[in-house]
Structure 1
Amino acid sequence: MAEVRDPERRFYQYIVVGCGGVGSATVYWLSKRVGSDVLGIEQFHIGHDNGGSQDHSRIIRLAYHDDRYTKITPDTYTAWEEVEKESGIQLVYHTGGIKFAKKNELGHVIDQYAEAMSKHGIKYERLTGSQLHEKYPQFETDDSYTALYEEKAGLVDAAMSISVQIQLARAHGASVIDNCPVRRIDKAPNGHIMVYTANGIYQCRRLLVTSGAWINNVLQSIGVHVPIYVTQEQVSYFATPHVKEFTKEKYPIWIYHGSDRDYYGLPSHGNSGSKCGIEMGGVVVTPETRTYIPDPVREKYVTDFLKETIPRSLGPIMYTKTCLYTMPKDRHFVVDHCGKMRPGWDNVIVCNGAGHCFKFSCLLGKILSEMAVDGKTQYDVSNFNIDRPAITQPGWTPEMYSETGGKVPVGAPTSKL
């Protein structure tokens, strides 16, 4: 059925605040369970580019060196497949994926990926730098490099995913309101949650907050603060003259682990060229202070790296696009209810994707829907609890915040957001 929203309706069993990657998935999975009893609220238009869920493509992969993620990465594919089957639209493209590093720098990180994948029965292939070049001639690597190849890795069409999940949710009867900022939340005498918005007051039995960098804007009115920091990151698209070599059929997604910084790249998809960015390292901002202006120094880092490693991917920069990463200090997900921080608020469930969750977003939506409807989930999210030291201890300082290491940016531990 098409969405026929009653503008006078003010009570829903479930309300989702924030309809980006995770939020759109949550509305979708809830709608499959409860139909018209779910409302999604988005402060901007659906598919906006103000946060972290945007752009043509995002990496999806099984390869993680951390059991917290490796044990659920296969389920991410299953979740996406269900959306693809219902919609008839392809969202995931299997390009294959490469993880590589200099052996004498961070070769041990590639070993950690192999160990974690072996533990969970995930297939992979170890490659020398020469074998990587033989498999993908685009990579100018010799045996000073070590690599890991994963066949199932690829990309997710990010913009299409959000659009499709919202469309399917509406087809199941869900209501979705965009351009509707949430001002605050409160509790009614009957225990229902009151959601004050620019469009009036709504009530629900359970509230799910998936609002990215604006998470504390929503939660502050109930006395809950999730200590996160927000960075402005960027990716560049190159108009390579060697177009045929950088299609999804010829060129894998890849992640390079370096001693100074990590890089990642994707093949051409949508109306873009070959894509490359630095993983992390952007300036600490707030949603209000971010500039949308690319950093030319970071563009040069990317260009210099590609000149050395994948030179045929280069060409004029078509454009460089900024986005926000929103992360706890340990850079792990938060998937939990707020009652652990503020007694009496168990019916508010919060999710933060820590700047690396789009590949997981469909599965996280399913997990959140189960937590909301059933009070628990079949998936192990126990390590993403909201009362862990990185969240609750103000002085907690990590040794590393990204997959290979690197200090938390200056200002991050005391960031207000």
Structure 2
Amino acid sequence: MEKFDVAVVGLGAFGSATVWQAARKGAKVIGFEQFEFGHVHGASHDTSRIVRTSYDAPQYVALAKSAYREWRELEQCAGVKLLTVTGGVVLFTNDRPSSSSSVKATDYTASLEANNVPYELLTAQQAKNRWPQFGLSENADVVYTADTGIAHAAKSVMTMQFMARTHGAVLKENTSVIEVVPLAGPDKGVLVKTAQGTFQANKVVLAADAWTNKLLAPLGVHIPLQIMQEQVTYFKPADPAAFEPGNFPVWIAFTEGKTFYGFPTFGEPTIKAARDSSENLMTPEQRTYAHSPELLHELTTFMGGLVPSHRLESLRTVTCQYAITPDRQFVLGPLENHPDIIVGLGAGHGFKFAPVIGRVMAELAINGKTTEDISNFGIPPSQPSLLQGKL
């Protein structure tokens, strides 16, 4: 039986980043994907994802700063442009009574200041002067960060897989992992049982997202996860030029207890928008891959208020899958009773962090420790929620 230093289960964004980062460190790496590469069954397909440092928890801002460095390293090594910096705003409508659980502009500005990230705090009028497309209530607050932008999702995953192979990683698609079995004895390690045979590795990284608990169950471990089908919609504006990068930012909006987000045009004359975490609950086996007309109507109504002077035509809606922890915290680290098995979960807002999470997973697997602060991301998550605004 061929033995590997690191085996990675799941080759979405986190898993692909891990095989790249581990292989470039000189480890002998194998990765398993239960579907075909670039599949649509998880959360790493389609075109765009938001990249940003603006978060309401300092630890995420610090991790995002590290992620930007890793994105630049990936682009430089691969010779491929993956990020498009557009600038971005977080909109707070202030249309609900303030409460201890509601996210506030000051949460964001405090986290950014703690990490020395430049930002602008704008009034609604100042924001509308800069981006007249927006329709904002007069009491809205707006946090602008110039480093916000877009990562090309499918291209980024493909690039990380390609770079992993250039460093000797073996990547297997259409290879379902049936079980991971920790070994006893002086050598320890883990057996990875698949439909195509059994493999051995010193460390195994589970980047299986919604399928994580199926692999953890035989080990007596369960991470509380809500699995849901989410959807994004592409709208055709009557005037696409008004929404080109440079004329319109990436945006996130907190309103009436819900979170919406969207993009300027990116590769086509459409703008993409969605509601975050709509709680359209269904397991991978229950997924319909058909969008919810009710959620589409809700989004279309919201967009009509966000850009009221621009007619939008709904063109297509694409579904994806979320696996969310109760407080939306990441889960990163080894199992307490089986330290050779390491879990990486992004809780539905991890794509922007993928290159640095891959490095964290690689460092844990190869060195047993990481240079990043992941102290709040234990298994199972035990810290109080630090994060209200997540995408």
TM-score, normalising length: structure 2: 0.94
| 2-structure distance, mates of 1:128, 1:192 | 56
Q: Counterpart of 1:124? A: 119
- Shift in Å, 1:301: 1.1
Match among 368, 371, 382 for residue 375 of structure 2: 382
Residues 149 and 250, structure 2, Cα contact 8 Å, conserved in 1? yes
Offset from partner CA, 1:380-413 (integer Å, 9 cap, x none)? 00100114437xxxxxxx8898539xxxxxxxxx
Q: Counterpart of 1:407? A: none
Q: Counterpart of 2:139? A: 144
User: Is 1:201 aligned to residue 237 of structure 2?
Assistant: no
- Shift in Å, 1:305: 1.1
| 2-structure distance, mates of 1:132, 1:287 | 41
Match among 31, 49, 60 for residue 23 of structure 2: 31
Which AA in structure 1 matches 2:114? Answer: K
Say which SS state the counterpart of residue 206 (structure 1) adopts. Answer: strand
Match among 345, 353, 366 for residue 346 of structure 2: 353
Q: Counterpart of 1:262? A: 259
Match among 71, 74, 89 for residue 83 of structure 1: 74
- Shift in Å, 1:118: 1.4
| 1-structure distance, mates of 2:379, 2:231 | 28
Provide closer, same or farther for how the CA distance between residues 177 and 140 of structure 1 changes in structure 2, counting only shifts above 3 A: same
Offset from partner CA, 1:56-82 (integer Å, 9 cap, x none)? 000111111112212222111001000
Which AA in structure 2 matches 1:316? Answer: E
Q: Counterpart of 1:20? A: 12
Provide closer, same or farther for how the CA distance between residues 314 and 208 of structure 1 changes in structure 2, counting only shifts above 3 A: farther
Match among 403, 412, 417 for residue 389 of structure 2: 403
Which AA in structure 2 matches 1:32? Answer: R
User: Is 1:307 aligned to residue 304 of structure 2?
Assistant: yes
Match among 319, 335, 354 for residue 316 of structure 2: 319
Provide closer, same or farther for how the CA distance between residues 402 and 295 of structure 1 changes in structure 2, counting only shifts above 3 A: farther
Match among 48, 60, 76 for residue 51 of structure 2: 60
| 2-structure distance, mates of 1:205, 1:170 | 20
Identity of aligned residues (%): 32
Larger relative contact order, structure 1 or 2 (CA cutoff 8 Å, min sep 6)? 2
Aligned residues: 384
Residues 29 and 169, structure 1, Cα contact 8 Å, conserved in 2? yes
Which AA in structure 2 matches 1:129? Answer: A
After TM superposition, the structure 1 stretch with the greater mean CA deviation from structure 2, 98-107 or 40-49, is 98-107
Say which SS state the counterpart of residue 278 (structure 1) adopts. Answer: strand
Which AA in structure 2 matches 1:148? Answer: V
Offset from partner CA, 1:91-110 (integer Å, 9 cap, x none)? 11111001112234369611
Offset from partner CA, 1:313-335 (integer Å, 9 cap, x none)? 54321111111111111110000
Residues 56 and 388, structure 2, Cα contact 8 Å, conserved in 1? no
Q: Counterpart of 1:153? A: 148
Which AA in structure 2 matches 1:167? Answer: F
Which AA in structure 2 matches 1:147? Answer: V
Residues 71 and 355, structure 2, Cα contact 8 Å, conserved in 1? yes
- Shift in Å, 1:142: 4.7
In structure 1, runs of 5+ residues without a counterpart are 1-8, 391-397, 405-417
TM-score, normalising length: structure 1: 0.88
